[in-house]
Amino acid sequence: MKLVRFGEAGEEKPGVIDGKGRLRDLSDHVHDIAGGQLARLGEISRLDLDALPVVSEEVRYGPCVGGVGKFICIGLNYADHAAESGMALPEEPVIFAKYTSAICGPNDPILIPRGAEKVDWEVELGLVIGKPAKYVSEEDALDHLAGYCLINDVSERSYQLERAGQWSKGKSSDNFGPVGPWLVTPDEIADADALDMWLEVNGELMQEGTTATMVFKPAALISYLSQFFTLQPGDIISTGTPAGVGMGMAPQRFLRDGDVVTLGIEGLGEQRQLCVADA
């Protein structure tokens, strides 16, 4: 299934994309695509989608999962990105937090913060947890997965790397976490370890890669994180980005007011964001 949340920010309704690509309203069956509702995905899969109301008007897609408790990011999880960043390949996953206030819809604008100088892009595969995971083995890890999604891990590099403290303040500005458009259940993804991914700025290809080059794969990441804290339904893990970010270019290139970012991952849809100076 391709599950969505649609409507105005903060008032999103649950929906599903049918076999013909039409948006169907799930409001009569689930309250939201969030938290404990993710345990009911089996029930949703048994619904007759053709009997659900079609949403015919053009609507905004919100983040494909609501009520996110933890937004966990993995750094330097692609060898080529670690190299372009001038950092050593980690022996264990590098973990940092992206605060949930950064989460927005897949086509909402990227807000350029006041004083920002180095706003960057990162196309990433997202993992959405479907049931609690604590001390799980790598073999059992994917049993705790609700599905996959597309994420742009927007970053302000001067905040992240040139000012004191940890990475989170360079990763968590408002609208620095576009998520969606869809939460795609695992049955629709034949091999999450071999998905093509890409990102363009103003129509120019910047990133082109594949999840096959991830250092730590989804099952390994879920298992690893669950050794330190319980993963809860609705938690998101953003699994890292391949080479091609602005920070790694010579000369470096960063986002400015008016730029347009488009990105996608095979089977997970596409995003489009206009960059806008924050008021």
Radius of gyration, CA atoms only, the chain = 18
| % pLDDT > 70, the chain | 100
36 and 172 share a domain?
no
- Domain interval for residue 43: 2-51
Would residue 18 count as lying in a domain? yes
Would residue 63 count as lying in a domain? no
Can you give the pLDDT at residue 88? Answer: 78
Would residue 40 count as lying in a domain? yes
Can you give the pLDDT at residue 98? Answer: 96
24 and 115 share a domain?
no
179 and 130 share a domain?
yes
257 and 129 share a domain?
yes
Would residue 61 count as lying in a domain? no
175 and 105 share a domain?
yes
Would residue 58 count as lying in a domain? no
45 and 75 share a domain?
no
Would residue 26 count as lying in a domain? yes
Separation between Cα atoms, residue 178 and residue 98, nearest integer Å = 12
31 and 133 share a domain?
no
- Overall number of domains in the chain: 2
| % pLDDT > 90, the chain | 87
> pTM of the predicted model, to two decimals?
0.96
Judge whether residue 211 has pLDDT over 90: yes
Span 240-257, pLDDT tens digits? 999 999 999 999 999 999
For residues 145-183, one letter each, b for 16 or more C-beta atoms within 10 angstroms of the residue's C-beta and e for the rest, the string is: bbbbbbbbbbbbbbbbeeeeeebbebbbbbbbbbbbbbb
75 and 42 share a domain?
no
Torsion on CA atoms 130, 144, 211, 237, rounded to nearest 10: 50
DSSP label of 69: S
Span 166-194, pLDDT tens digits? 788 999 999 999 999 999 999 999 999 99
Would residue 64 count as lying in a domain? no
39 and 79 share a domain?
no
155 and 25 share a domain?
no
- The CATH number covering residue 192 comes to 3.90.850.10
Can you give the pLDDT at residue 167? Answer: 86
30 and 164 share a domain?
no
Average pLDDT over residues 78-95: 83
Can you give the pLDDT at residue 161? Answer: 87
Judge whether residue 89 has pLDDT over 90: no
Would residue 132 count as lying in a domain? yes
Average pLDDT over residues 216-220: 97
Can you give the pLDDT at residue 79? Answer: 82
Separation between Cα atoms, residue 217 and residue 58, nearest integer Å = 36
Can you give the pLDDT at residue 116? Answer: 95
Question: Quick one: which of 73, 271, 275 has its CA closest to 182?
Answer: 271
Judge whether residue 165 has pLDDT over 80: no
11 and 119 share a domain?
no
